[in-house]
Amino acid sequence: MARPSTAQALKKTLDRILSRAGVGSRTEARKWVAEGRVAVNGKTIRSADAWADPARDRITFDGKPLQAKRKIYLLLYKPAGYLTTYKDPQGRPTVYDLLKDVDEWIFPAGRLDQDTSGLLLMTNDTQFGDFVTSPESHVPKTYLVKASTVLTEDQLQQLREGVELADSPTRPAQVTRVRDSAKCTFFEITITEGRNRQVRRMVEALGAKTLKLVRTRIGLVGIGDLQIGKWRELSAAEVKALSPRQRILRQV
Ligand code: URA
């Protein structure tokens, strides 16, 4: 379906409207629309690509009007071994197993690999999620890395300046050596992109492997002394610091 003209700019597709209202994921919403559970101004609509204006049109789900849901912003300390997906066909644990006492539907604002632990933001605010994850936002993300070899200063400098990955070179990063053991280097890196397995691929580009990866910070929001596997709500100031137009985020 064609995108709406400027005059229709406030309109959104039905799957997006349902997901923004916190009813469920866009995939679920598409299924529900196709099942005829959604009506616009009293008329059942079966195409999730149909456009509607949530401010003007009366949109119902199972006959009940959509209500603006309370916005939720959670910080979860994801342990390694958990997937950042809703369900896993192989039955592996997912982050939702750690959020069983949260009734509302929430989604991760950016993913972490199964083997990565650390700060994961979960929300029902799609605008917030889009901002935190969009490559254009350049929201800095900080990781602690245990590399499989002792890295030279030259190798750390390569990470700072950008290394060549299969897709394209990485943007400049902040890199600080934390300490070396006999066989490994522990370092902190802050990147302003969010490419798939980016930190692991950057370390691989140096000829080493990532033995441990922990995300400690997104923008100004840190994991603090939260226990692994636990979650807390973000404060209003933290939500604001991760919202559009907070230039203070641009640390790198
Ligand atoms: N970079 C990675 O390689 N993995 C993550 O989970 C996050 C960033």
Cα 89 to averaged position of ligand 1 atoms, centre (Å): 22
Mean pLDDT of 24-38: 91
Answer yes or no: do 128 and 155 share one domain: no
Residue 123's domain spans which residues? 73-135+221-251
Q: Are residues 123 and 147 in the same domain?
A: no
CATH number at residue 128: 3.30.70.580
Residue 5 has pLDDT above 50, yes or no: no
The residue type of 172 is: P
44-97 pLDDT, tens digit per residue, is: 999 999 999 876 788 999 998 887 678 899 999 999 999 998 888 999 999 999
Pick from 2-6, 69-73, 210-214, 229-233: least confident: 2-6
From 143, 203, 217, the mutation candidate for ligand 1 (largest count of ligand atoms within 8 A of CB) is: 143
Cβ partners under 8 Å of residue 191, min gap 6:
140, 141, 143, 170, 171, 173, 198, 199, 202, 252
Mean pLDDT lowest among 95-109, 153-167, 169-183, 193-207: 95-109
**Distance in angstroms (rounded) separating the CA atoms of residues 83 and 94:** 4
Do 92 and 103 share a domain, yes or no?
A: yes
**Residue entry with tokens 């039905």:** 14
* pLDDT score recorded for residue 10: 63
Residue 123, φ and ψ in degrees, nearest 5: -155, 170
**Residues 53 and 77 occupy one common structural domain:** no
- Please tell me the distance from the alpha carbon of residue 58 to that of residue 11, in angstroms, as a whole number: 13
Q: How far does the centroid of ligand 1 lie from the alpha carbon of residue 197, in Å?
A: 4
Mean pLDDT within 157-163: 98
Kindly provide the b/e burial profile for residues 16-48, where b requires at least 16 CB atoms within 10 angstroms of the residue's own CB: bbbbbbbbbebeebbebbeeebbbbeeeebeeb
User: pLDDT-based confidence at 37, cuts 50/70/90?
Assistant: very high
Instruction: Check if the beta carbon of residue 139 is closer than 8 Å to that of residue 93.
Output: no
φ and ψ at 162, to 5 degrees? Answer: 120, 130
Q: Are residues 131 and 94 in the same domain?
A: yes
214 plus 226 within the same structural domain = no
Give residue-wise pLDDT tens across range 199-223.
999 999 999 999 999 999 999 999 9
Identify whether 212 is part of a domain.
yes
The token pair that represents 22 in the structure block: 């916190």
Same domain, 207 and 144: yes
**Residue 252 pLDDT exceeds 70:** no
Number of compact structural domains in the chain:
3
**SS3 sequence of 19-42:** HHCCCCCHHHHHHHHHCCCEEECC
Question: Is there an atom of ligand 1 within 6 Å of 142 CB?
Answer: no
26 pLDDT band (50/70/90 cuts)? confident
Specify the CATH number for the domain of residue 12.
Answer: 3.10.290.10
DSSP calls for 104-141: S--EESS---TT-EEEEEEES-HHHHHHHH-GGG---E
Residues 185 and 236 in one domain: no
How many whole angstroms separate alpha carbon 80 and alpha carbon 214? Answer: 9
Mutate which of 77, 84, 113 for ligand 1? The one with the most ligand atoms within 8 Å of its CB, which is: 113
Domain-embedded: residue 184 = yes
Amino acid at residue number 28: E
> Does the CB atom of residue 119 touch ligand 1 within 6 A?
no
Are 98 and 82 in contact, with CB atoms under 8 Å apart?
A: yes
Last residue of a domain, one of 65, 88, 107: 65
Q: Model's pTM, two decimal places?
A: 0.77
pLDDT at 50: 94
Output the average pLDDT for the chain. 90
State the pLDDT at residue 246. Answer: 58
Residues 206 and 233 in one domain: no
Residues 112 and 130 in one domain: yes
- Same domain membership, residue 245 and residue 124: yes
Residue 248 CA, chain-centre distance (Å), reads 20
User: Residue written as tokens 């101004």?
Assistant: 41
Instruction: Flag whether pLDDT at 1 surpasses 50.
Output: no
